[in-house]
Amino acid sequence: MAHQIHFNEQTQKHAFFSVKEKAWHNLGQIVSDYPTSQEAIKFAGLDYEVIKLPLYCKTELGQSLEVPNFYSTIRTDTKSVLGVVGKEYQIIQNRDAFSFFDSIVGGTGILFETAGALGNGYGK
């Protein structure tokens, strides 16, 4: 079964961590204590920004044309294209998505056991 966990070529690490024992796929790093959301993001390799840039295509003559109302979502650390979105799409950064859980418990009270495979810049 494919794990579909992102491998970062720059850091040579998988975007995954687990606490105290290996996960079934044996990927990612093992940490000794349950981390807070900010620590979990870093351990899982999800501590990057996602930006939205205008989408362009090349014509047969090599000209670049902007595709109206469509954008690329890009990871700022690897410059990888994550997807194509419409003009109304708003990026929610990983740190903001995870901090939602912290706000529920009034601070950094939630401790994460595993993380990874998420982090493609959630949107709404």
Q: How far apart are CA 110 and CA 72, in angstroms?
A: 33
Check residue 99 and give its pLDDT. Answer: 76
Cα–Cα distance for residue pair 43/118, rounded to 1 Å: 13
What is the C-alpha R_g of the chain?
Answer: 17
Which pTM was predicted?
Answer: 0.67
Structure confidence at residue 107 (pLDDT): 56
Residue 46 CA: distances (Å) to CA of 11, 73, 88:
12, 15, 24
Three-state secondary structure call for residue 59: coil
Residue 106: the pLDDT is: 60
pLDDT in 10s for each residue of the chain, 124 residues? 466 777 777 777 777 777 777 766 767 677 777 777 788 888 888 889 999 999 999 999 999 999 999 999 999 988 999 999 999 999 999 888 877 776 676 655 555 555 554 444 444 4
pLDDT given at position 114: 52
What confidence score (pLDDT) does residue 43 get?
80
Residue 59 to residue 1: CA distance in whole angstroms = 40
- The total of other beta-carbon atoms located within 10 Å of residue 49's CB is 13
Our CA angle for 49, 50, 55, nearest 5°, is 150
How far apart are alpha carbons 76 and 50 in whole angstroms? 6
